[in-house]
Structure 1
Amino acid sequence: MKAIGFKQSLPISEKDSFIAFETEIPSPTGYDLLVKIEAISVNPVDYKIRQNAAKDTVLDTPKIIGWDAVGIVEAVGDTTSKFRVGDQVYYAGDITRSGSNAEYQLIDERIVGYKPKNLSIAEAAAMPLTSLTAYEALFDRIRIDAEKDKGKSALILAGAGGVGSIAIQLAKKLADLTVIATASREDSIKWCTDLGADFVVNHHNLKAELEKIGYSQVDYILDFVDLEGYWEMATDIIKPQGHIVSITGSSKPLNLNLLKNKSVTFSWELMYTRSMFTTEDIERQHDILNHVAHLLDEGILKSTLNTTLYGFTVENLKYAHEMQESGKSIGKTVILY
């Protein structure tokens, strides 16, 4: 099968930052499905792994990354029970295993969902990783209760990004929160508004912007861009007994004492936790993906696809990474095979 990977962590502009090569089609055992991939999408985690996985070494065999895919089940392992050969599926994968930048991939069925029927392949490929991340942040980490928390305020940092784009919709459509998204360019502001954000504020002057719309403090903060850069601001504008959740990490220790007097809760969200540690509730990702598929099929949520590239090529993968690295991409970029 054809795959695209890298042996060194090179700048994306370098000729060998990605290389195409041939490798054997793997065989599924246990809970694994063998999926023939039809489309993939690219997320910030892709370029971050590419930049760091082989920084000071040259790998013997190319590393295959990629964590969003739509495809057809070609074969199943001996303990699978959820899917059959011929089923069309979508998933976000497992960071500890070979990725989706290939023609075939093995994937644990417990983190796989049925592709939304009413979406195109490209529209569906845009959704798994960001949907799981946003859904877990809202309902597994903050544990928002749609009845009890209705109308509370949620500040979504980087509203026009991949995760922010679906988080706006989930927070509005499922939880009925007052959604405040950050964006600064005309196109990204319109994108957030079209997805259902009640307010869009400029992150360059965040505190003043929030005060201008009457929200000097908010109940929830969802950081999808730069926790370290926003930390002191976030601890200032979060309400007493509020909740901050972040997916971005920090290069230095955070001062959690800033949360003490307000009794604020802080959570990390990593979509890969369940698959990395084979947690007891690993199957929840299967359930979330099927729930999101239903919401997409019913038109309650809409795909965040913004750019489609045609052909599984080194050139398209490099271009998709360049878009992510720019920090200015809106929604999701998908590569159709």
Structure 2
Amino acid sequence: MKAVGFSTSLPISEDASFIDVNVDKPVPEAHDLLVKVRAVSVNPVDFKIRQNSAKNVVLEQPKIIGWDAVGVVEAVGQEVTLFKAGEEVYYAGDITRTGSNAEYQVIDERIVGRKPATLSDEAAAAMPLTALTAWEILFDRMRLSPERDRNKTLLIIGGAGGVGSIAIQIAKKLLGLHVIATASRPETTDWCKKMGADLVVNHRNLIDEVRNAGFQYVDYIVDFVDTNAYWDSLAELIKPQGHIASITGSATPVMLNKLKSKSVSFSWELMFTRSTFQTDDMIEQHHILNRVADLLDEGVLETTLTQTLHGLTAESLKEAHAQLESGTTIGKLVISF
């Protein structure tokens, strides 16, 4: 089958940063679905793994990445109970397994949801990874609820990106929060407002922007950009007994002691935790994706798709990664096969 991968970590401008390859069609086992992939989207995790997983080495077998896909189930493993052949699905995948930049992929049914019926393949492919990330950070890590938290303030660092775009919608429409998002360009500001943000502030002068808007402190903060780069501002702006959560990780220690005097909680979120560790509640991602599909079909949530490329080729992946690495992407970029 056709696939796109890489044998060594190279700048995206290099010809061999992605290569077209032919590999064996995978066989589903146990809880696996064999999916004929029709569209994928790109996320920052894609280019980070491409840049770092094969530094100064040449892999014997090209690495195939990609996390976000829409497709049709072609075959199922012997223990599958949630899906059958012919059904349309969408999912974000498993970082420990071969990715979705291929004609076919095997994926555990417990992290797969039904494709939203009202969305095109491209519009649906934009959603899984970011929706799961936003849902888990707000509901599973921070444990927010509309009954307890309605009208409280949430500051979203990076509102116009893929995760920020759907997090704004979930926070506003499902939790009833007062959403403050960060952006710095007119087009990203407009996008955040389109997604439902009540207020958009410039992240380059974060403390003054938030306080000049009338907020001494905010109840909750989620970081989708750079934990340490904004840490001092987040520690200053968070309300006593508030909660900060981040998806971005850190190569250096995070100064949690800055939160002590306020008794502030801090959480990490990684969407791949459940599949990587085969957690007891791994099937929760199946349920979340189905719930998000319902909300998309009902018009409560909307797709964050903003750009579509075409063709399962090294060139289309190069173009997508170059766009993502520029740091100017709004919403989600999808590649249709």
Q: Please give the per-residue CA displacement for 1:109-145, whole angstroms capped at 9, x wherever unaligned.
A: 0000000000111000000000000000000000001
Aligned to 1:69: 69
Aligned to 1:211: 211
Aligned to 1:284: 284
Distance 2:260 2:332 in 1: 37
Amino acid at match of 2:230: Y
Q: Please give the per-residue CA displacement for 1:75-130, whole angstroms capped at 9, x wherever unaligned.
A: 00000000000000000000000000000000000000000000111000000000
Q: Are residue 84 (structure 1) and residue 84 (structure 2) matched?
A: yes
What is the TM-score when the length of structure 1 is the normalising length? 0.99
Identity %: 63
CA drift of 1:315 comes to 1.0
Distance 1:237 1:107 in 2: 41
Higher mean Cα deviation, 30-39 or 227-236?
227-236
Distance 1:186 1:256 in 2: 34
2:149 alignment partner, SS class: coil
Aligned to 1:6: 6
Q: Does the CA-based 8 Å contact 1:8-1:55 persist in structure 2?
A: yes
2:58 alignment partner, SS class: coil
Please give the residue correspondences for 1:142-221 in structure 2 after superposition, counting only pairs within 5 Å: 142-221=142-221
CA drift of 1:216 comes to 2.1
Q: Are residue 236 (structure 1) and residue 231 (structure 2) matched?
A: no
Q: Are residue 105 (structure 1) and residue 113 (structure 2) matched?
A: no
Amino acid at match of 1:198: D
CA drift of 1:311 comes to 1.3
Aligned to 1:24: 24
2:12 alignment partner, SS class: coil
Distance 2:173 2:319 in 1: 33
Please give the residue correspondences for 1:298-313 in structure 2 after superposition, counting only pairs within 5 Å: 298-313=298-313
Distance 1:95 1:59 in 2: 18
Distance 1:255 1:128 in 2: 32
Distance 2:277 2:167 in 1: 25
Distance 1:15 1:216 in 2: 50
Distance 2:160 2:328 in 1: 9
Q: Please give the per-residue CA displacement for 1:148-190, whole angstroms capped at 9, x wherever unaligned.
A: 1100100000000000000000000000000000001010000
Aligned to 2:41: 41
The alignment yields a C-alpha RMSD, in angstroms, of 0.5
Q: Does the CA-based 8 Å contact 1:217-1:238 persist in structure 2?
A: yes
1:227 alignment partner, SS class: coil
Aligned to 1:96: 96
Q: Are residue 119 (structure 1) and residue 122 (structure 2) matched?
A: no
Amino acid at match of 1:178: H
Distance 1:22 1:120 in 2: 28
Distance 1:251 1:82 in 2: 39
Amino acid at match of 1:227: T
Q: Does the CA-based 8 Å contact 1:133-1:163 persist in structure 2?
A: yes
Distance 2:294 2:158 in 1: 26
Aligned to 1:333: 333
Aligned to 1:248: 248
Distance 2:132 2:142 in 1: 14
Q: Does the CA-based 8 Å contact 1:228-1:251 persist in structure 2?
A: no
2:118 alignment partner, SS class: coil
Distance 2:128 2:7 in 1: 27
Please give the residue correspondences for 1:130-145 in structure 2 after superposition, counting only pairs within 5 Å: 130-145=130-145
1:61 alignment partner, SS class: coil
Distance 1:328 1:175 in 2: 28
Aligned to 2:52: 52
Distance 1:316 1:227 in 2: 31
Query: How many residues in Structure 1 have an aligned counterpart in Structure 2?
Result: 337
